[in-house]
Amino acid sequence: MLTRKQLELLAFIKTRTDADGIPPSFDEMKDALELRSKSGIHRLITALEERGFIRRLAHRARALEIIKLPEAMEKAGAAKGFAPKVVKGEALKTDRAASPSPGQALTPVHALELPVMGRIAAGVPIEAISEISHHIAVPGAMLAGRGNHYALEVKGDSMIEAGINDGDIVVIREQDTAENGDIIVALVEDQEATLKRFRRRGGMIALEAANPAYETRVFPDHLVKVQGRLVGLIRSY
């Protein structure tokens, strides 16, 4: 049986991973559970891992994978609109669907071919990306509803604490608006593209890195155009 805090943390990890395609950071988990320090989060994660509900993935920043959900989750998450569903397995590799884990039922996987539009900086912005370099197969379930989607290869490490590493493929839904906290593709001054977390501060736009080595960059809102929102992540090993 899980404690209330363990259930809350598991629900938060699940909802944020479903919404953003990546797990929340330790700071985000600490704030969500109103804990004073990250050591409390470490203890909760260790307890969930020992009970077989999650596992930590080696050599990946803050990488967590939910293995199963308890029946009690339905009651714990009902007030927050959380509805647990079957946890998906590994994402598709760039050239084939992932194999199911032992005991996992085989289900049809609907995959779509998305254009990879080149590389985008998770660091200092680079020139705007406009050419298709190749295509990649992406699970249909990863795509965020209707609308056009495309993929980009990440260059740099400024989003590493958001679980986005150099060489990852990010799946982007085309849109020109964003909510605070969204990870977006931003076009700066009509010539530089970068992958950052979006924050609006009055008439200014802050593009936040997820790595303390990089400073937040702030621009007048007319110099930043939202090109799309992160909805998924694909990693090759």
pLDDT at 146: 65
Can 99 be counted among the known catalytic residues? no
Beta strand spans in the chain (E): 54-56, 64-66, 111-121, 126-127, 134-139, 149-155, 169-173, 183-188, 192-201, 204-208, 217-220, 224-234
| Catalytic residue list contains 196 | yes
Q: Where are the domains of the chain?
A: 4-78, 111-234
pLDDT tens digits along 195-209: 999 999 889 999 999
Report the chain's mean pLDDT, rounded to a whole number: 75
Percentage of residues of the chain with pLDDT beyond 90 = 16
Give the active site residue among 14, 30, 155, 196.
196
Catalytic pick from 101, 158, 225, 236? 158
- Domain 4-78 and domain 111-234, same fold? Reply is no
Instruction: Tell me what pLDDT residue 141 has.
Output: 67
Tell me the per-residue pLDDT of 25-61, one tens digit each, with 9 for 90 and over.
888 888 888 888 888 888 888 888 888 888 887 655 5
CA distances from 177 to 48, 147, 183, 200 (A): 36, 13, 11, 11
pLDDT of residue 84 exceeding 80: no
Over residues 207-212, mean pLDDT: 92
Predicted confidence band of residue 23 (pLDDT cuts 50, 70, 90) = confident
At 203 the pLDDT is: 93
How is domain 111-234 classified at the architecture level of CATH? Ribbon (2.10)
DSSP-derived pairing of the beta strands 204-208 and 192-201 = antiparallel
Amino acid type, 31: D
Task: Choose between 102 and 189: higher pLDDT.
Answer: 189
pLDDT tens-digit map of 99-152: 344 444 444 445 677 778 777 877 655 555 666 667 777 776 666 566 788 888
pTM summary value = 0.54
Three-state SS string over 32-76 comes to HCCCCCHHHHHHHHHHHHHCCCEEECCCCCCCEEECCCCCCHHHH
Class of domain 4-78: mainly alpha
Predicted local confidence at residue 232, as pLDDT: 85
